Amino acid sequence: MQAFLDVFDIYLLEAVINGILLGGVLALLALGLNLIFGVIDVTWICYAELVMIGMYAMYFMVQYYGVSYFVAAPFTILLVAILGAALHYLVIAPLLTAPPINQLLATGGVLFVLQSFATVAFGIDFRNLGIRLPVLALGDMNFSYARLLSFLAALVGMVAVYLFMTRTFTGTAIRAISQDRQIMALMGVDTKRIYLITSALGGALAGLAACLLVLQYDVHPFVGLSFGPITFLICVLGGLGNFIGGFIAAFVFAEIISLGGLFSDLEWGYVLAFAFFIVMMFIRPAGLLARRR
Amino acid sequence: MRLRMAARLVRGLVIAISATSLAVAAQAQDKKIKIGVVFDLTGPLAGGGSELGYIGAKIILDHFAKTGVEGYKIEAVYADAQSKPDIAINESVRLLEQEKVDMVLGFFSSAQCVPVAARVEQLKKFMWMTTCISSAVFNEKGYKYVFRPQASGDQFGMMTMDFIAQNAKAKFDKEPKDLRVAIIHEDGAYGVDVSKGNEAGAKKAGFNVVMKEGYSATAPDLSALVTKLKRAKPDVIFHTGYNPDITLLLRQAREQGLKFGALMGHGAGYGVYEKLKEGMGADATYIFNADPISIWLANQKTMDPKLPPVIKMVGEEFDKIRPGVAIRSAHVGIGASNTYVFMADVLPRAIKKYGGVDPEALRKAALDTDIPEGGTMLGFGVKFYGEGSPMAGQNERSFPVVIQYIDDKSSVVWPKSQAQREAVLPLPKGTTYSNQ
């Protein structure tokens, strides 16, 4: 009994809930990237760097110009949405018919441009928004409101994107394009416009992630390196373009990290998560929720 | 006619002599030492203290560039290691082989120092490390051309443990065996090395080590680590990290309600108070940090009298570059002092006694170094372990001190001989992390 209690104590429950909250952060990040992946079929390697630019925007508006967090947030979402659209217009659109490796290299180039831009423009200092949200205490367990907010935003974001994609004409057009890029143009759909809308939407979701991540992390030009690779893995694990799959993959990944880290060294949590990813790529290469053929 | 010829002869002679002396002067002027300086100016380590070390080293190099050393001009060539070991190696090799620098100097990260030292030694070139601390750089390597005046990582770890050991009974009212300590560290060469010192110190003191764990400095989440710390209930946490992992850990610790009696940092991110304060606000108060003493806190009365004006000059130059900083980071002083030792002591001896600035002359001059305690801006002396020693190239006279941040000031609290005030230990009741 004692051995059971030693393992299944209150800290295990705390780790499980923290895993869920981390899953919320990762799901939020994966949401926009999944949209781009699924529709435009282009890998935005620089996605986490768009989040970084959004975090800087929040920092400067709130810290330097004294703008309220709630006023700054919509501006940031709008700014990153414009950035997303600009990225598509300037970099992706000319390469849409190019081999995937060219698109990958181009967005990889944008990653370095954005990192270098941030280094030159904002310096290498770590900047902190300075907003400390209260903590939710449940007995011996404590949870961060910032993470709870991310979790809720991810949930609401996913439902909103799902409804948009299934209940609106534009959403239907986006899904149709993701199924057949060439045929939709023949049916009179303005594919350029749809791509631009999708990119802006992906950017807006990156902006939303930035607004919430800046409450939890310091912003610096290389903050994207902590999240970029893991976000890609989640999108692939969930099945490219599959929002629900991505959402579930984020929580599975986060729980492996959290519980693996609790029962062994923290590093092993990440090793297990990546090992799980590799195994799943053999078992379900099209994603967690893909139908078996 | 003869008179005219004699005049021509004299004129010719004068011109020839002038030309010769001009050529000699030009040759003297041409004598220079090219120093390759490598720090992280971009990437996560830049803001974690590397750029501050670079500023300190540059202030000294600029100072000597104005005067030269023993007739040699000083030319510094700067390179950015971008917080990556492979870039640090490539840049060092580029500086040595393409830029033809006579030596390399600097290096913030231990993860870079270890492979770069091996490569530079292989090339039989001279390397002077100002900042990185990992013992693994030297341990049993038998290097001939690599030198470090800076204290080594295990000394950092031992020093903080010694401090707590000496205060366990008086401050925590616990015997050492009853004192619960946790050792956590980033898992690079730097963190691992300091944690080894922590472990050895804990064993010596007889502490109850309830947790020891490493983590990646770029991990996006440390909540599982915090949960384990909560479960382990340590009285004192010994932490070695860069930034922003320090801020992330302490933020998540606050959010998850982690309580402890004291937090001991070990340089790097803990040496940059401005960033701790920005990230943690008032919770940065009462944190301890082991580092070489800040040159602005060192006891100037027991110091070589020629050093206080240099400290003043470094402070003034730093304030021009970074105006309005509340506490000048120890990293600036570390970069400045350790560069100054080379420029003011080793280099003149290499030129005068060993006839130049080739690696052999610099090596011999470095091995001759014999600076007593109080002979550097950091307070410690300099004498390098020689060939045959397992730590050949490491300064045997260096030591870190333990400082505590209180009310936006940093004060030395250990060792007793250097202490400027009594340590506040354990964390006072009512503070965020206090377990009282």
Interface-testing mutation among A28, A113, A135, A222, with chain B (most B C-beta atoms within 10 A): A222
**B425 in a domain, yes or no?**
no
Contact A144 B252 (CB under 8 A): yes
Interface-testing mutation among A142, A213, A251, A257, with chain B (most B C-beta atoms within 10 A): A142
- pLDDT confidence tier of residue A144, bands split at 50, 70 and 90: confident
Do B134 and B93 lie in one domain? The reply is yes
pLDDT of residue A48: 92
**B47 in a domain, yes or no?**
yes
The ipTM value here is 0.85
Using a CB–CB cutoff of 8 Å, tell me whether A91 touches chain B. Answer: no
Among the partner-chain residues A18, A217, A226, the one whose CB lies closest to the CB of B227 is A18
**Residue A228: closest C-alpha in chain B:** B220
pLDDT of residue B178: 93
Do B218 and B259 lie in one domain? The reply is yes
Do B269 and B407 lie in one domain? The reply is yes
**B308 in a domain, yes or no?**
yes
**B140 in a domain, yes or no?**
yes
Chain A residues inside the 8 Å CB shell of B223? 15, 18, 21-22, 258
Chain B residues inside the 8 Å CB shell of A143? 255-256
Chain A residues inside the 8 Å CB shell of B225? 261, 266
Chain B residues inside the 8 Å CB shell of A9? 231
pLDDT of residue B24: 47
Among the partner-chain residues B218, B275, B281, the one whose CB lies closest to the CB of A226 is B218
Chain B residues inside the 8 Å CB shell of A11? 227-228, 230-231
Assess contact for B402 and B290: CB atoms under 8 A.
Answer: yes
Show Cβ contacts of residue B108 under 8 Å, excluding neighbours closer than 6 positions: B39, B40, B45, B49, B50, B53, B54, B81, B131, B132
Beta partners for B78?
B37
Contact B224 A143 (CB under 8 A): no
Chain B residues inside the 8 Å CB shell of A117? none
Residue B43 — φ and ψ, nearest 5°?
85, 170
**B63 in a domain, yes or no?**
yes
How many helices (H) and strands (E) in chain B? 14, 12
Pair type for strands B180-186 and B208-215: parallel
- Pairs of CB atoms within 8 A across A/B: 120
Chain B residues inside the 8 Å CB shell of A21? 223
> Residue by residue, what is the 3-state secondary structure of A118-171?
HHHHHCCCCECCCCCCCEEEECCEEEEHHHHHHHHHHHHHHHHHHHHHHHCHHH
- What whole-number distance in Å separates Cα of residue B330 and Cα of residue B378? 9
**B207 in a domain, yes or no?**
yes
Do B286 and B176 lie in one domain? The reply is yes
Do B112 and B173 lie in one domain? The reply is no
**B316 in a domain, yes or no?**
yes
Identity of the residue numbered B65: A
Among the partner-chain residues B43, B47, B213, the one whose CB lies closest to the CB of A266 is B213
Chain B residues inside the 8 Å CB shell of A147? 255
DSSP 8-state symbol, B126: E
Q: Quote the number of domains for chain B.
A: 2
**Residue B256: closest C-alpha in chain A:** A142
Do B115 and B260 lie in one domain? The reply is no
**B120 in a domain, yes or no?**
yes
Contact A126 B244 (CB under 8 A): yes
Chain A residues inside the 8 Å CB shell of B51? 124
CA distance A163 to chain B (A): 30
Assess contact for B76 and B65: CB atoms under 8 A.
Answer: yes
Contact B224 A270 (CB under 8 A): no
Q: Is the peptide bond before A134 cis (omega within 30 degrees of 0)?
A: no
Chain B residues inside the 8 Å CB shell of A18? 221, 223-224, 227, 256
Do B231 and B105 lie in one domain? The reply is no
Do B161 and B147 lie in one domain? The reply is no
- For B33, left (φ over 0), alpha (ψ -120 to 50), or beta? beta
Among the partner-chain residues B223, B225, B243, the one whose CB lies closest to the CB of A126 is B243
- What whole-number distance in Å separates Cα of residue A53 and Cα of residue B141? 45
**Residue B218: closest C-alpha in chain A:** A226
Q: pTM here?
A: 0.82
Using a CB–CB cutoff of 8 Å, tell me whether A20 touches chain B. Answer: no
CB atoms within 10 A of CB B85: 19
Among the partner-chain residues B47, B214, B257, the one whose CB lies closest to the CB of A126 is B47
One digit per residue, the tens of pLDDT, for chain B of length 436 reads 455 655 665 665 556 555 555 454 444 457 999 999 999 998 888 887 899 999 999 999 999 999 999 999 999 999 999 999 999 999 999 999 999 999 999 999 888 999 999 999 999 999 999 999 888 899 889 999 999 999 888 889 999 999 999 999 999 999 999 999 999 999 988 899 999 999 999 999 999 999 999 999 888 889 999 999 999 999 999 999 987 889 999 999 998 999 999 999 998 889 888 888 888 888 999 999 998 888 988 888 889 999 999 999 999 999 999 888 877 888 999 999 999 999 999 999 999 999 999 999 999 999 999 999 889 999 899 999 998 899 999 999 998 899 999 988 889 998 887 888 999 999 999 999 998 8
Q: What is the pLDDT of residues A124-143, one digit of tens each?
A: 888 888 788 888 888 778 88
SS3 B291: strand
- For the CA atoms of B417, B423, B426, B432, the dihedral, rounded to the nearest 10 degrees, stands at -140
- What whole-number distance in Å separates Cα of residue B398 and Cα of residue B268? 17
- pLDDT confidence tier of residue A61, bands split at 50, 70 and 90: very high
Do B145 and B169 lie in one domain? The reply is no
Interface-testing mutation among B40, B213, B221, with chain A (most A C-beta atoms within 10 A): B221
Do B257 and B405 lie in one domain? The reply is yes
* Greater model confidence, A284 or A40: A284
Query: What CATH number does the domain containing B351 carry?
Result: 3.40.50.2300
**Residue B50: closest C-alpha in chain A:** A124
Among the partner-chain residues B215, B216, B220, the one whose CB lies closest to the CB of A227 is B220
Q: What is the pLDDT of residues A11-47, one digit of tens each?
A: 888 889 989 988 988 998 898 888 888 777 787 889 9
Do B127 and B168 lie in one domain? The reply is no
CA distance A206 to chain B (A): 17
pLDDT of residue B192: 92
Do B164 and B106 lie in one domain? The reply is no
Assess contact for B240 and B190: CB atoms under 8 A.
Answer: yes
Give the residue numbers spanning the domain of B279: 154-291+400-414
The residue to which tokens 């800040």 are assigned:
B294
Q: Which residues in chain A (237-276) have CB-CB distances under 8 A to chain B?
A: 254, 257-262, 265-267, 269-270
Among the partner-chain residues B187, B220, B278, the one whose CB lies closest to the CB of A128 is B278
